[in-house]
């Protein structure tokens, strides 16, 4: 399954055809601080990010809201233990609507047959993403990520 919808929200794999939408939501200051490797200043950079991540075994998924478009992006990479590491962001103008939380819930359903669990590395200063993990009921993995000032969560 490559797409799953629920209540007007759809999570599906991104393609280079989505690069214009990706570029529109991936260029805010929070991207520079927390996920600079996913920041695109224009459509050409967005296309390259989508292509490059697929070459490095990341699957790029987007959360699409009916009548709005792309609001969140999830980069999913398999790890060595039958799980997946997930990096995600929501476009700045969509903050505060619960899209990251809902998107992760749908993504987990979509990929549950492929992965046993998901891990999220969240920067210690990223209050919004820390709140998302707490809302989801994720458990903190205290022994990991201290060097990067991150908190790691597992769902």
pLDDT digits (tens, 9 = 90+) for 111-124: 888 888 888 878 77
Question: Is residue 89 in some structural domain?
Answer: yes
pTM: 0.86
Number of domains in the chain: 1
Domain harbouring 79, CATH code: 3.40.630.30
Torsion of CA 107, 109, 113, 118, to 10 degrees: 50
Tokens found for residue 47: 């296309």
Question: Is residue 83 in some structural domain?
Answer: yes
Question: Is residue 122 in some structural domain?
Answer: no
Question: Is residue 77 in some structural domain?
Answer: yes
Question: Is residue 27 in some structural domain?
Answer: yes
* 149 has a pLDDT exceeding 60: no
Determine the Cα angle at 136 with ends 90 and 33, to 5°: 35
Helices 99-111 and 127-136, axial angle in degrees (round to 10):
50
What pLDDT, on the 0 to 100 scale, is given for residue 80? 77
Domain of residue 19: give its range: 3-113
Question: Is residue 132 in some structural domain?
Answer: no
């Amino acid at each position: 399954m490559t797409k799953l919808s629920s209540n007007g929200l759809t999570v599906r794999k991104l393609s280079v055809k989505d690069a214009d939408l990706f570029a529109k939501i991936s260029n805010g200051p929070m991207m520079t601080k927390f996920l600079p490797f996913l920041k695109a200043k224009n459509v050409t950079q967005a296309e390259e990010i989508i292509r490059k991540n697929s070459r490095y075994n990341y699957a790029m998924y987007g959360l699409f809201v009916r009548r709005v478009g792309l609001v969140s992006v999830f980069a999913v990479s398999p790890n060595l233990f039958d799980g997946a590491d997930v990096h995600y962001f929501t476009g700045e103008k969509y903050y505060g609507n619960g899209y990251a939380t809902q998107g992760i819930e749908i993504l987990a359903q979509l990929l549950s047959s492929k992965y046993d669990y998901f891990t999220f590395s969240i920067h210690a200063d990223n209050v919004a993403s820390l709140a998302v993990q707490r809302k989801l009921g994720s458990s903190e993995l205290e022994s990991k990520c201290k060097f990067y000032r991150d908190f790691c969560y597992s769902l």
